[in-house]
Amino acid sequence: MSLDVEALRAEFAILAREAYGKPLVYLDNAASAQKPRAVIETMTRAMETSYANVHRGLHLLSNEATGAFEEARAKVARFLNAASPDEIVFTSGGTDAMNLVAYALGAGEIGAGDEIILSLMEHHSNIVPWHLLRERKGAVLKWLDVSDDGEIDLAAYEALFTERTKLVAITHMSNVLGAPTPAKALTDIAHAHGAKILFDGCQAAVHGRVDVRAIGCDFYAITGHKLYGPTGIGALYGRKDVLEALPPFRGGGEMIDAVTTEAVTYNDPPHRFEAGTPPILEAIGLGAAVDWIEATGLDAIVAHENALRDHALEELRALNFVTLYGQAPDKAPIICFNVNGAHPHDVSTILDRSGVAIRAGHHCAQPLMKRLGATATARASFAAYNTHDEIGALIEALRKTHMMLG
């Protein structure tokens, strides 16, 4: 099945708008994706027809809202091929998921001198929670180098393990280099050394089929807003036995079993980790986004994105004033580059005035920037609704940038 991109674009009202009088070319999808009508309408309809707080009320609206909220959990579970919806904890996003795991593991399992392995291409959201754990508990961070293209040497990875290694926290796809990591192999090695493994899947879940059971990982974090869903919602997959052994992160309503003035007993996962009124509408919106992806066809989306990637890379390689970062053959359509002699902020400013929206900066991955020897890069990232014509607009705007700055 191939993608009817024009029909698909019609589902995204925002794509019809202009930027500075020019057609909008939105190539900042790795930062956040636009939302299809199905997501917007599902959230609006929920507010207009079936909204109340979840789980608590014994009335019709609460029952309907609870049903929709838990159905969204089941959709996310199916999307990641989790064994059960009970393995899906709703979070406010990927960052929140990583913080949840860091805090909960730091409450007992990880202590002074225990080691956590991270790669050099992590997003800050999968670095800073572990630095906080280092500061709070004296945990030791060990860093796995990556190649210029974001590839991992499994022997070098395995060499980092000691009897103190408790966790590997690693991306399933670099938000800078676009390179996927070999999740199954990384997991098998971690488990062989008695360590748990968490994947930051915020990018990977957008650009390919994730099967947490095939990977066998302990934790897998995703965020909604990059998956064509709303902001303020993400999910943490945790294998049933792992979640059951994990202490709560935050205290409040919903996560309790019983509270007295002397003590509290906690609810079972996943609700143990969802203190307070959850982002009900956002969860329902994420469920609608997952439905939209499945209905559109993830395989067709990926095939289209890969064609865009190949086309964009070919055009960019032909520009003799552009330096590319990350060219792994199986990379996602996340393309970092610099215009020689120009700062990426110059590039993004001039592209912006040409109607082309890209990201410029360190992409919340400063250790990787240092590893690549760059202070910042420009990044063009593609989604299901991008077109080959838009690559033409990007290239034309880059030529103009080069003329103005060169």
Q: Which residues are catalytic?
A: 364
User: Residue 258 class from Cβ within 10 Å (0-12 exposed, 13-18 middle, 19+ buried)?
Assistant: exposed
Among 2, 6, 20, 329, binds another protein (CB under 8 A): 20
Find the shortest distance in angstroms from Cβ 379 to another protein. 14
> What are the CA-CA distances from residue 2 to residues 237, 302, 306, 324, 403 (Å)?
30, 10, 12, 29, 38
Write the binding mask 318 to 347 for another protein: x where contact by CB under 8 A, - elsewhere.
Answer: ------------------------xx-xx-
78 is an interface residue for another protein by CB under 8 A: no
Residue number, 23 or 111, with CB nearest to another protein: 23
Alpha carbon distance 182, 200 (integer Å): 13
SS3 166: strand
350 is an interface residue for another protein by CB under 8 A: yes
Q: Which are the contacts of 117, defined by CB distance < 8 A and separation ≥ 6?
A: 142, 143, 144, 157, 160, 161, 165, 167, 168, 169, 170, 190, 195
How many residues bind another protein, per CB under 8 A? 15
Find the shortest distance in angstroms from Cβ 375 to another protein. 7
Q: Which helix (H) or strand (E) holds 397?
A: helix 388-405
**Residue 224 and residue 243 in contact, taking contact as beta carbons nearer than 8 Å:** no
Find the shortest distance in angstroms from Cβ 401 to another protein. 10
**Residue 119 and residue 169 in contact, taking contact as beta carbons nearer than 8 Å:** no
**Residue 167 and residue 110 in contact, taking contact as beta carbons nearer than 8 Å:** yes
Residue number, 311 or 353, with CB nearest to another protein: 353
Q: Which stretch binds another protein (CB under 8 A): 92-100, 203-211, 222-230, 348-356?
A: 348-356
- Here the tokens at position 74 are 């089941």
Among 131, 164, 353, 399, binds another protein (CB under 8 A): 353
Find the shortest distance in angstroms from Cβ 400 to another protein. 7
Residue number, 278 or 344, with CB nearest to another protein: 344
Residues 91-150 that bind another protein (CB under 8 A): none
Residue number, 20 or 320, with CB nearest to another protein: 20
404 is an interface residue for another protein by CB under 8 A: yes
405 is an interface residue for another protein by CB under 8 A: yes
Alpha helices (H) along 107-226: 128-137, 154-158, 183-192, 204-207, 212-215
Kindly list the strands in the beta sheet with 140-144, ordered across the sheet, starting from the edge strand earlier in the chain: 88-91, 234-238, 219-223, 196-200, 165-171, 115-119, 140-144
Find the shortest distance in angstroms from Cβ 339 to another protein. 10
Q: Which residues bind another protein (CB under 8 A)?
A: 20, 342-343, 345-346, 349-350, 353, 360-361, 375-376, 400, 404-405
